[in-house]
Amino acid sequence: MANASSMKIRVEELESGMITAENVIEPGTERILLLRDTILDSVMIFNLKERYNVDEVYIRKNFSAATVADEMRAEIDIHQSLSTLKEVFGSDEDKPLTEFSKEATKQISNVTNELITSLYADDNILLKMHQLQSYDDYTYKHCLRVAMMSVTIGKSLDLPRNKMRDLCEAALLHDIGKRTIDVDIIRKPGRLTDEEFEAIKKHPQNGYLLLRKNGSYSEEILNGVLMHHEKYDGTGYPLKLRGEQITYLARIITVADVYDALTSNRPYRQPWSVAEAEEFMMGGANTHFDYDIIMAFLAAFAPYPVGDRVLLSDGNKAEVISNNTNVLRPVIKILTGENADEVIDLYNDFKYLTLSIKCLDKDGSTGE
Ligand SMILES: [Fe+2]
């Protein structure tokens, strides 16, 4: 069955600016080369064709020249932010950082301006985030994505704009302390010894000290960096703070940090699906995470966007019609089986309590 919103085209026909409608998998393997909703550029298209021998790709229909132009602009902006971050963090080849310069402060402030402006201009910040999914440059991309996600959650929590700036800067810099740690430990591919792990666990306080020495950062920002590995129930590190002892901004950054780590493409494992990761995050509400922040996060990052096809626990297929406050239980229209065409509210209709969404329907949405 063809999906109304996507079409399959040959790699030779791909053009920069087209958007993938499905994950692109390397032929003969399970490896994800590009995630769904990636805006293709010429390098990606070249790699799909020449390096990975991909034949066909599902792309989104209905993108007008205007939206492509907007999205291409977004792509340029995001790459600018990324290269600024690279400069600030320095290359992995460098010696550990002992100082955070005033120039770096200015650059972080510029990236913050860019992200906050995009967010309030109702620019599609989530779409931009998807462009940052690939194996290379994990650290900078991780920091940028955590910042984008943090401000998106902040907006959903109605944080005032000045707090949003603090949130964004703290999120961009949350892992800066890793640059103070011996590069050999950070880059070690195998299992870390206990000692090495302890050294890495020092990155929150090292980041805090590095930025405090710089003198331009508020306590809010410094604490966001210091507390981003604390957990709501007191089982985190380095201070084992609990509940509201952990600052509000730090609690937001923690949610974005963990979610991004779970859903990122890493060389040693497949990313978790959005739904799996969100299920995990929901399970951690009130233990690892602040309940209200998890709710704001789930509202901002619905795992089953309207129009997506899903597979149900009874084996039937359905289409998402609208989202509920519990984003794992949206309103759906059944597409197959004896109840085909029926519209069901998985959250409010108790008749369907035992029916759940198993996963996105890969076959349905790939137009089989
Ligand atoms: Fe960290």
Q: What is the pLDDT of residues 92-133, one digit of tens each?
A: 556 888 889 899 999 999 999 888 888 887 656 666 666 665
Give the span between the Cα atoms of 18 and 181, in whole angstroms: 40
Tell me the Cα Rg of the chain: 21
- Tokens 């492509």, residue? 68
Write the CATH number for 47: 3.90.105.10
Q: Ranked by mean pLDDT, which of 40-44, 188-192, 221-225, 360-364 comes out on top?
A: 221-225
Cα distances from 364 to residues 77, 163, 242, 318, 330, in angstroms, run 34, 43, 44, 9, 18
* 196 and 260 both lie in a single domain: yes
Choice between 29 and 291, residue whose per-residue pLDDT is larger: 291
Choice between 64 and 164, residue whose per-residue pLDDT is larger: 164
* 113 and 38 both lie in a single domain: no
Report how far ligand 1's centroid is from the alpha carbon of 156 (Å): 23
* 253 and 145 both lie in a single domain: yes
Report how far ligand 1's centroid is from the alpha carbon of 222 (Å): 13
Residue 260 pLDDT greater than 70, yes or no: yes
Domain final residue, candidates 18, 39, 60 = 60
CB contact set of 244 (below 8 Å; sequence gap of 6+):
none
* 149 and 54 both lie in a single domain: no
* 75 and 51 both lie in a single domain: no
Write the CATH number for 163: 1.10.3210.10
In this predicted model, what pLDDT tens digit does every residue of 123-160 receive, in sequence order?
566 666 666 655 456 778 889 999 999 999 999 899 99
Domain assignment present for residue 336? The answer is: yes
The reported pLDDT for the residue numbered 368 is: 29
What domain range is 340 assigned to?
309-365
* 25 and 72 both lie in a single domain: no
In this predicted model, what pLDDT tens digit does every residue of 184-235 receive, in sequence order?
888 777 788 999 999 999 999 999 999 999 999 999 999 999 999 999 999 9
* 46 and 194 both lie in a single domain: no
* 84 and 153 both lie in a single domain: yes
Domain assignment present for residue 271? The answer is: yes
Share of the chain above pLDDT 70, in %: 85
* 277 and 360 both lie in a single domain: no
CB contact set of 295 (below 8 Å; sequence gap of 6+):
285, 325
Instruction: Give the mean model confidence (pLDDT) for residues 337-360.
Output: 87
The number of domains in the chain is 3
* 234 and 89 both lie in a single domain: yes
Report how far ligand 1's centroid is from the alpha carbon of 209 (Å): 15
In this predicted model, what pLDDT tens digit does every residue of 3-14 receive, in sequence order?
556 788 999 888
The reported pLDDT for the residue numbered 363 is: 57
Domain assignment present for residue 24? The answer is: yes
Number of other CB atoms surrounding residue 215 within 10 Å: 9
Q: First and final CA of the chain: distance in angstroms?
A: 5
The reported pLDDT for the residue numbered 2 is: 39
Report how far ligand 1's centroid is from the alpha carbon of 204 (Å): 6
Domain assignment present for residue 1? The answer is: no
Domain final residue, candidates 300, 319, 350 = 300
Domain assignment present for residue 215? The answer is: yes
Tokens matching residue 104:
């770096």
* 219 and 358 both lie in a single domain: no
* 82 and 125 both lie in a single domain: yes
The reported pLDDT for the residue numbered 1 is: 34
The reported pLDDT for the residue numbered 81 is: 84
Helix, strand and coil content of the chain, in percent to the nearest 5, comes to: 50, 10, 40
Report how far ligand 1's centroid is from the alpha carbon of 135 (Å): 18
